[in-house]
Structure 1
Amino acid sequence: MSFLSQWIKISLLNLFLVSFLGFVLRYKIVFALPFVDQRNLLHSHSHFAFVGWISQTLMILLIYYLSARLGERIFTRYRFILYANLISAYGMLVSFILQGYAFYSICFSTLSVVAFCVFGVYFWKDLNRISEKTVSRLWFRWSLIFGVISNLGPFALAYMMYIKMVDQNWHLTSEYFFLHFQYNGWFLFAGLGLLMDLLTTRDIPSKRLYYAFYLFCAACIPAYFLSILWLPFVGSIYFLLCAAVVAQLAGWFFIMESIFKNREILSRQFSRFAKVLFMLSGIAFTIKLLLQTGSIHPQLSQLSYGFRPIIIGYLHLVLLGVTSIFIIGYIVSLKMITVSRSVVTGISIFVAGVIINELLLMIQGVAAMAYRVVPHIQIMLFGAAVILMIGLGTLFIGSLKSKQAPI
């Protein structure tokens, strides 16, 4: 468990660094910071968030899933993969700031892809060694498949850059391809797999949880086209997109129904603080599904994707509101770090920052759609970035103080 705890602390440090980069991005918008290239810093921020925080931590949690069934010695088998992924994350953190998309940043990006693929092969084989057949195994397997598929997007972008292709539609479709299969594939399916494991190990009936998996899995690929509704050919498969939206809503209903019917069992298993974090993540995911349902309307989709604050708000809703809060809740629920007062305070400040940030981005987005400017909105968003950074800094420092009495 000490091995796991140390890696979790590194992940929390990485999350703090993500928030620091976000702070610098907001600072540069409000104040002068001429020696930092905004675009390069944005690439560093996003790549490090994906690889250094989300992917790194999900891999750690999946390894923990294996260790609970195959023994803690399994950690040594994955040590070099975690180090390789960590090196690639820090390499991208620095190289993207210094040079943007260039030789070194592409090399580190490629290393992260290789590390993930090797992890996928190892994890798949070790998953086969577990005798119990649960629904969480299906979520894990397809999370890896979608994670590998997502990397076709960056490779397509690299090829287009190599041949100097300037078609904006192809660039956007490649970017959204990567984002979709990361957010709605690798991140979502790995997270729901961890959630299913929490539910099934507490003797909650899994029949409807299997239904939920099949619905989400069937919807994942067609749901990608919701991101590119402006392309002419998408109209010919519009019915399929509607079916994908309905399938995801139905799948989420089955999961929520199972949780609600067994709420008394679950209530006894988790601390009040962990339950609040899971609930907030669930609310954020519900909002995400409702927004996705609204985007099925072509005109509304084109309108929303035409305004940057709405795109940024949606991405942060999924990355922070759904994924990050769930991961932190999972870590807290299984006591992978000592849940001290400073840890609880840091998480609470972070959650407040997420909510404030989303509300401000929503206000900014709605105002932009009405072609209005919200006074001092950039200063307020900078304030939200400060809150996020303070919260995560407090959380990381609190996680290092393992001798404090748990709450």
Structure 2
Amino acid sequence: MSTFLSKWLSISFLNLFLVAFLGLILRYKIAFYLPFLNQKYILHSHSHFAFSGWITQSLMVLLIYYLSSKIGEQVFEKYRPVLYANLICSYGMLISFIIQGYGLLSISFSTLSILVTSVFTIYFWADLKWIKKKATSILWFKAALVFGIISSIGALSLSYLMANKTTDQNWYLASIYFFLHFQYNGWFLFAGMGLLTDKLEFLIHEQKKLNAIFYLFFFACIPAYFLSILWIPFNVIIYQILILAVILQLIAWAIMLNIFFKNSRAISKKFSSQGKSILILSAIAFTIKLLLQSGSIHPALSQLSYGFRPIIIGYLHLVLLGVTSIFIIGYIISFKLIITNKLAIKGIIVFIAGIIINELLLMTQGVAALSYIAIPYINEMLLVAAMILFIGTITISLGISRSIQ
């Protein structure tokens, strides 16, 4: 067990606990009275820290570990300052957004975070050249890095609009969704698929199919952004490209699922049983995400979904918690990248249960909102779901800390 990996992943799980804590505060403030905290400021802190302190930090650590397995553990020293810098920026955003929302400090830390990501991209891209075998996973990693940099355009644009108090709603939403799309459909998805593909291509003989999956997702990623801004009128050609992007993604995922089913026995031998079960849940969430995304291509459904906040929040949580967070945890558990005990496993089960309950409540609230039906005590129930998530994360952190002592 690598000390480097154990240390940094335990920090990531601590950050996940802080994300859940902020989520709990947000839900409490909606359900009850908490006047001394600004709702928007907490929300900005919660979202920025979730992206940078939890998901990006974890993916960076896992990608560095991937490099170490290919070219040696000397890479740890090279990337250690980058991880510390990302951590400082993440905690800087966590605190400054709570204090001032979008202001000088928070925008400065956000900008520094982009610079840190850029340094990581330059380092990692250069180090990939030392890997002699040109595997499909390398294509996924390079695309992930590129999409991560592209997403920063949305973040910088949003910071500019907020700092200048621009009130144009279309530009504001387009910037937010640009950042979100190229983060979770670009950087998060492609980095995760790269890690998964790296394991698969040494287990199975499906190289052509794995290559096809990459290119289908890659060519669909950029046009798929327009699925996030369907309230803007498009001409027929762009709309047809959107339909093509949706079809490409569905075909790619169908091929991936076929690979899993066809090679389930070989995969089961390499992946731990607990980890495999968690990854299956992530795959189910990703399937639901693709189907919902495909449905949004219909203009009437698109107008409805973007008009109701619970649906947007439910979709974002599905991607960030149901797909990405569960995948990261499942990958770590599958290959025993950190020492876990019964307490940590119980925490993971509680955390995943919280995700499922949270999603069911958000989707129920969203569907009810379409008919303008108010669900009694829905905010209190969502607070309970947030509490379950919080309990799960603190239990995971406690279990991990006891294991590495």
Scaled by the length of structure 2, the TM-score of the pair is: 0.98
- In structure 1, the partner of 2:381 is 380
| Contact residue 272 and residue 335 of structure 2 kept, 8 A | no
Amino acid at match of 1:48: F
| Contact residue 21 and residue 390 of structure 2 kept, 8 A | yes
1:232 Cα deviation (Å)?
A: 1.7
Distance (whole Å) between structure 1 residues aligned to residue 212 and residue 118 of structure 2: 28
Distance (whole Å) between structure 2 residues aligned to residue 326 and residue 301 of structure 1: 27
Amino acid at match of 1:277: I
Change (3 A) 1:245 1:91: same
Please state if 1:110 is matched with 2:111.
yes
Please state if 1:137 is matched with 2:138.
yes
- In structure 1, the partner of 2:93 is 92
1:315 Cα deviation (Å)?
A: 0.2
- In structure 2, the partner of 1:126 is 127
| Contact residue 44 and residue 97 of structure 1 kept, 8 A | yes
Distance (whole Å) between structure 1 residues aligned to residue 186 and residue 235 of structure 2: 21
Distance (whole Å) between structure 1 residues aligned to residue 327 and residue 39 of structure 2: 30
SS in 2 for 1:371: coil
- In structure 2, the partner of 1:369 is 370
Amino acid at match of 2:144: S
- In structure 2, the partner of 1:49 is 50
Distance (whole Å) between structure 2 residues aligned to residue 327 and residue 219 of structure 1: 23
Distance (whole Å) between structure 1 residues aligned to residue 264 and residue 208 of structure 2: 17
- In structure 1, the partner of 2:306 is 305
| Contact residue 31 and residue 383 of structure 2 kept, 8 A | yes
Query: How many residues in Structure 1 have an aligned counterpart in Structure 2?
Result: 404
1:236 Cα deviation (Å)?
A: 4.1
- In structure 2, the partner of 1:36 is 37
1:333 Cα deviation (Å)?
A: 1.2
- In structure 2, the partner of 1:156 is 157
1:158 Cα deviation (Å)?
A: 2.8
| Contact residue 229 and residue 235 of structure 1 kept, 8 A | no
Amino acid at match of 1:211: A
Distance (whole Å) between structure 2 residues aligned to residue 57 and residue 204 of structure 1: 29
1:374 Cα deviation (Å)?
A: 0.2
Amino acid at match of 1:322: V
Consecutive aligned runs of 4 or more in structure 1 exceeding 4 Å deviation: none
- In structure 2, the partner of 1:237 is 238
Distance (whole Å) between structure 2 residues aligned to residue 395 and residue 243 of structure 1: 41
Distance (whole Å) between structure 2 residues aligned to residue 327 and residue 13 of structure 1: 14
Amino acid at match of 1:111: L
Q: Gaps spanning 5+ residues in structure 2: where?
A: none
Please state if 1:227 is matched with 2:231.
no
Identity of aligned residues (%): 61
Distance (whole Å) between structure 2 residues aligned to residue 346 and residue 329 of structure 1: 13
CA displacement 1:212-258 (0-9 Å, x = unmatched): 00000000000000111111235541100000000000111111111
Change (3 A) 1:197 1:86: same
Distance (whole Å) between structure 2 residues aligned to residue 163 and residue 359 of structure 1: 38
Query: Greater CA deviation, 177-186 or 155-164?
Result: 155-164
- In structure 2, the partner of 1:180 is 181
1:59 Cα deviation (Å)?
A: 0.4
- In structure 2, the partner of 1:399 is 400
Query: Greater CA deviation, 157-166 or 44-53?
Result: 157-166
Amino acid at match of 1:120: T
CA displacement 1:74-107 (0-9 Å, x = unmatched): 1100011100000000000000000000000011
Q: Gaps spanning 5+ residues in structure 1: where?
A: none
- In structure 2, the partner of 1:332 is 333
RMSD: 1.1
| Contact residue 281 and residue 325 of structure 1 kept, 8 A | yes
Query: Greater CA deviation, 113-122 or 268-277?
Result: 268-277
| Contact residue 225 and residue 234 of structure 1 kept, 8 A | no
Distance (whole Å) between structure 2 residues aligned to residue 126 and residue 138 of structure 1: 14
- In structure 2, the partner of 1:81 is 82
| Contact residue 340 and residue 398 of structure 1 kept, 8 A | yes
Distance (whole Å) between structure 2 residues aligned to residue 94 and residue 164 of structure 1: 22
1:167 Cα deviation (Å)?
A: 1.3
- In structure 1, the partner of 2:293 is 292
| Contact residue 111 and residue 156 of structure 2 kept, 8 A | no
SS in 1 for 2:64: helix
Amino acid at match of 1:367: A
1:399 Cα deviation (Å)?
A: 0.6
1:272 Cα deviation (Å)?
A: 1.5
- In structure 1, the partner of 2:211 is 210
| Contact residue 204 and residue 262 of structure 1 kept, 8 A | no
- In structure 2, the partner of 1:356 is 357
SS in 2 for 1:151: helix
Amino acid at match of 1:156: S
1:22 Cα deviation (Å)?
A: 0.2
| Contact residue 40 and residue 97 of structure 1 kept, 8 A | yes
Distance (whole Å) between structure 2 residues aligned to residue 137 and residue 19 of structure 1: 32
SS in 2 for 1:203: coil
CA displacement 1:246-298 (0-9 Å, x = unmatched): 00001111111111111010111222111110100000000000000100001
- In structure 2, the partner of 1:5 is 6
| Contact residue 204 and residue 263 of structure 2 kept, 8 A | no
| Contact residue 24 and residue 390 of structure 2 kept, 8 A | yes
Change (3 A) 1:42 1:371: same
Distance (whole Å) between structure 1 residues aligned to residue 179 and residue 334 of structure 2: 30
1:159 Cα deviation (Å)?
A: 2.9
1:119 Cα deviation (Å)?
A: 0.1
Scaled by the length of structure 1, the TM-score of the pair is: 0.97
Change (3 A) 1:383 1:163: closer
Amino acid at match of 2:50: A
